[in-house]
Structure 1
Amino acid sequence: MSGHLVLEDHFANGKHPLERAFDRRNLFPWLQRSMRPFPDPRANYKELVSEKKSGKCVVYVHVPFCANHCLFCGFYRDRSAEEAMRDYTDHLVQEIEMDPVKNRVDTVHAVYLGGGTPSALSAQDLQRVIRALRQNLPLAPDCEITVEGRVAGFDLEKVDACFDVGVNRISVGVQAFDTQLRRRFGRKADQEGVLEFLSALSTRNKAAIVCDLIFGLPGQTMQGWQDDVRLCSQLGLDGVDLYCLTVHDKGPLAMSIEKGALPTQAPLSEMAQMYQAGLEIIEQAGWRHLNQAHWAANTRERNLYNQLVKAGADCIAYGSGAGGLLDGQRYVVDGDRISYQKRIANGEKPLAMMLPAARHHHARDLIMGSLEGGRLDLNELERCTAPGLIEALYPLFEQWQQAGLLSLSGTVAVLKTPGWFWHCNLVGSLFELIGVFIDGNKAEKPRFAFTEKGKKYA
């Protein structure tokens, strides 16, 4: 191969591997490529779905409604309204029924209803969506079916309606248990209400119950964070996500901080320490570390959708604003709900755009999926790239080992706690270096990264 690898640009700071391994934290390495969308996404989509395809496949269904806009959320689109949600469900079911992608699919291994807040839909509409998926797609007998929700508005009638149509995983966006902190960021239920709801879900014993927690929130203390993680480990849940706060540029949280209505977010060094503290608490409780942000208390929790998506599995997308992936080609469904519904009514798959597959996307998928799970086999990576890659990259992995990010066992790299925290930086570096090694050209520089202050870099 003709590419010359300048590994020093990707070395980590070994003096402070957890807090300051790199100058800034890389957030979305899989999106960091400048690609021109296909001029006619419908033609490309039609070609992709025309032939049967075997292999791992998941489904993402987007519900763009929320009762209110929480300050930290970058996904808010539409305020919940009963008539609008019922009308949206009508069109969503129609999209599922008419989408020719069902002719391509061999088996669906996981379904995820995200948003927004899917639990904002009525019990009847939730059932309509799940039934449409079951009737139109070949779901595996053990297909993981997740409904994402929040405590407010997710009554037990809806919960039982989900169980009745085969939902076997519920992910609850708790974010924080402390009532004062929850109120500050727009969460309606207090701590007592959250605990009562999670207890009711767990005692039903019909599905994997998972909750999300966020660290680095403005005003959140280390003690408060540790208390939240400990509480989570005592509730009889099946899984937990520990997410690092992302401040979305010009979002409501960023604006509140800028105006002085809220304190600044925790600096990156503190968030790294919070991640380590959370990891230690949850693992001392006996939970398994499934991937970068997720832990399982038992074998019922698989977190299958997230793991398969990160590894590049085909992802069928339904709903306004949903994103999908077919043969490495990313596509987005029309994010304007009214436009989306009009196009559905006209019998059209309402695509907003489709991007070509990234170069060497199979290698990128292997890197992303493997490091998301904490382990990368360099022999396997070389087999799907080019001879000589291990020899070219090994000095970088040795430096990362010396810096405390990972350990090496022959040609297998296993992440340590700092490596888990900075895993997207490692992924981004490998994406770039593989491009250089194979193509002999400088790979694309990251387009989205954040410093401790949350400022974007181009």
Structure 2
Amino acid sequence: MRNASARQPVELLGGLKQPDNVLESLDEAILRKKSGVPAWNFFDRRIKTHNEAIGLPVGKVLPHPLAHQAMNDRIVSSALEKQRMIYIHIPFCSTICTFCAFFRQAVGSFDVSHYVDSLISQINRLGSRHSCPEASISAVYFGGGTPSLLHQDQIEAILNAVRSNFSLSRDCEITLELRLNGITSEYLQGLRRAGVNRISFGVQTLNTEMRRTLGRIAERNHILSVLHESEHAGFESITVDLIYNLPGQTAKTWEEDLNDLASTPVTGASVYSLIPFKHSVLGKNLAEGKEPPLGGIQNEYEFYSTSDRFFTNLDGWKRFSPVHYGKVGYERNLYNTMRSAPIDILGFGAGGGGRVQGLLYMNPVNVSRFIEDQQNQGDHHLFAVDMDPLFPEAMNCFSLTDSLSLTDTSIPDFLPSVSKTLSKFQEMGAVRYQDGQYELSGPGFFWGYNISAAIAQAIRQDMNTNSFQEVNYE
């Protein structure tokens, strides 16, 4: 048994802010549950993103020269791993959605072909340091931004570079995020020929009026047409993102969205509550009263419950995570369900991040800087954190919320507070324990990210970590 109690505190890789201390509010949540308070009021605030929830003790931030060298060294060791994933970031958008707070670049300000060349250069350079064909890639994920702004030939060129440098598993899941506007059957067929076998559309809602509020262009009938064309192009795994608690959204319009999707060949759906980032266009409009006010936590709970019942009762579908549902035999959602596993994730492109042999890293988000680095044959502005050596084992605990279950033997000996925390969630009815396995249950699905935050805070407590670092990725 390894003991972390005598260790020096390590820094945290944070997001925009330190998450609420869910651990401190757990006893109050249990009292609320026992006194008959409705499930949506167990906590004062619902945490809505993976990044906000985690705040893990990951180690020491490295200066750029050391980060570059560490990446070069550890990519070699990564070749000995039996299972890994790849993330490829395409940071461009033709229009900026009003609710978006992710890193993206207006496409008109850059020659995208230069970016693609630099991206392929990075893949070739880092891939050339591999020498073990048995180190298979289980999933490749194109995220953004809007990856479908690239021509299908550019997608094919990127995937050819991946195949030339890495060994893909026979059933490797290759996902590409797409916009809906401007997508043609020819484009979809080109993606399928290039090797993409799973596509994900940012639908958010099919209601045309609400889509306009979000800065989305495609109308309902076009969306339905594209989803059917995707099946005709040969895609068997077609997923969508949906958002609830939108300005002006009602129970009726939400049910219409769900029923419309059930009539399409969609095989997976990620369902999120709107996060009104204050610096987004929508966030500012809400603050200035230019949009109808959002519903409160009870409203969120009712929207969530409607969609959860709908998808879990849809023929052949099941729940993959607190926010993702899919059709058994068609949807696997590997990239997201495997991210809590202690495996390497190789991140390519401006703003693309990953982890390699204990090194958590992110490429510079500035596109020009990324291109310049690749022209200079290196990752000279890499942001990297040398993770604590106990961190990979601690990550296993997040399989409870990433993939709905956690065996008690997966909780390391040096994390006794995690088991105690899960016992408290059992009292709430949010977690159940049976035959050596913890599973989310009841309100645990709605409060999934609060549970993640509590686990993260229990890990920090056991690893003697009490600092939180805010990071500028520029």
Please give the alpha-carbon distance, in whole angstroms, between the structure 2 residues aligned to 1:412 and 1:397.
11
* Cα pair distance change 1:446/1:399, threshold 3 Å: farther
Deviation at 1:24, TM superposition (A): 1.9
Deviation at 1:386, TM superposition (A): 3.6
**Is 2:55 aligned against 1:31?**
yes
* Cα pair distance change 1:317/1:350, threshold 3 Å: farther
* Cα pair distance change 1:55/1:29, threshold 3 Å: farther
**Equivalence for 1:219:** 248
Q: Is the 8 A contact 1:49 1:101 kept in 2?
A: no
**Is 2:72 aligned against 1:46?**
yes
Deviation at 1:32, TM superposition (A): 4.8
* Cα pair distance change 1:428/1:153, threshold 3 Å: same
Determine which of 138, 144, 169 is the counterpart of 2:173.
Answer: 144
**Equivalence for 1:163:** 192
Compute the TM-score of the two structures, normalised by the length of structure 1: 0.88
What are the superposed Cα offsets for residues 255-276 of structure 1, whole Å, 9 maximum, x if unpaired? 1112222123332332122112
Please give the alpha-carbon distance, in whole angstroms, between the structure 2 residues aligned to 1:76 and 1:331.
16
Deviation at 1:244, TM superposition (A): 1.9
**Equivalence for 1:86:** 113
Q: Is the 8 A contact 1:241 1:293 kept in 2?
A: yes
Mean Cα deviation higher: 394-403 or 419-428: 394-403
**Equivalence for 2:90:** 63
Partner of 1:103, secondary structure, is: coil
* Cα pair distance change 1:407/1:86, threshold 3 Å: same
Please give the alpha-carbon distance, in whole angstroms, between the structure 1 residues aligned to 2:285 and 2:352.
28
**Is 2:430 aligned against 1:405?**
yes
**Equivalence for 2:18:** none
State, as a whole percentage, how many aligned pairs show the same letter.
Answer: 25
Q: Is the 8 A contact 1:145 1:166 kept in 2?
A: yes
Determine which of 82, 95, 99 is the counterpart of 2:122.
Answer: 95
**Is 2:343 aligned against 1:313?**
yes
Deviation at 1:436, TM superposition (A): 2.9
Residue identity opposite 1:66 in structure 2: C
Q: Which runs of 5+ in 1 are unaligned?
A: 449-458
Determine which of 220, 223, 229 is the counterpart of 1:191.
Answer: 220
What are the superposed Cα offsets for residues 107-159 of structure 1, whole Å, 9 maximum, x if unpaired? 11100001000001112212211221112211111110011011112222221
What are the superposed Cα offsets for residues 278-313 of structure 1, whole Å, 9 maximum, x if unpaired? 010111113111112111113121101111123343
Mean Cα deviation higher: 142-151 or 229-238: 229-238
* Cα pair distance change 1:323/1:7, threshold 3 Å: closer
* Cα pair distance change 1:447/1:43, threshold 3 Å: closer
Q: Is the 8 A contact 1:29 1:424 kept in 2?
A: yes
**Is 2:266 aligned against 1:240?**
no
Please give the alpha-carbon distance, in whole angstroms, between the structure 1 residues aligned to 2:368 and 2:419.
52
Residue identity opposite 1:136 in structure 2: N
Please give the alpha-carbon distance, in whole angstroms, between the structure 2 residues aligned to 1:7 and 1:339.
40
**Equivalence for 2:441:** 416
Please give the alpha-carbon distance, in whole angstroms, between the structure 1 residues aligned to 2:376 and 2:4.
51
Q: Is the 8 A contact 2:399 2:405 kept in 1?
A: no
Residue identity opposite 2:202 in structure 1: G
Deviation at 1:432, TM superposition (A): 2.2
Deviation at 1:185, TM superposition (A): 1.0
Q: Is the 8 A contact 1:367 1:376 kept in 2?
A: yes
**Equivalence for 1:338:** 368
Please give the alpha-carbon distance, in whole angstroms, between the structure 2 residues aligned to 1:49 and 1:446.
26
**Is 2:335 aligned against 1:302?**
no
Runs of 4+ off more than 4 Å: 6-9, 32-36, 392-396, 442-448
Mean Cα deviation higher: 111-120 or 37-46: 37-46
**Equivalence for 2:145:** 116
- Report the RMSD for the aligned CA atoms in angstroms: 2.6
What are the superposed Cα offsets for residues 345-378 of structure 1, whole Å, 9 maximum, x if unpaired? 1111254310121463234311112322222222
Deviation at 1:33, TM superposition (A): 4.8
**Equivalence for 1:258:** 287
Deviation at 1:230, TM superposition (A): 2.4
Mean Cα deviation higher: 406-415 or 121-130: 406-415
* Cα pair distance change 1:338/1:393, threshold 3 Å: closer
Residue identity opposite 1:54 in structure 2: E
Q: Which runs of 5+ in 2 are unaligned?
A: 6-21
**Is 2:237 aligned against 1:208?**
yes
Compute the TM-score of the two structures, normalised by the length of structure 2: 0.85
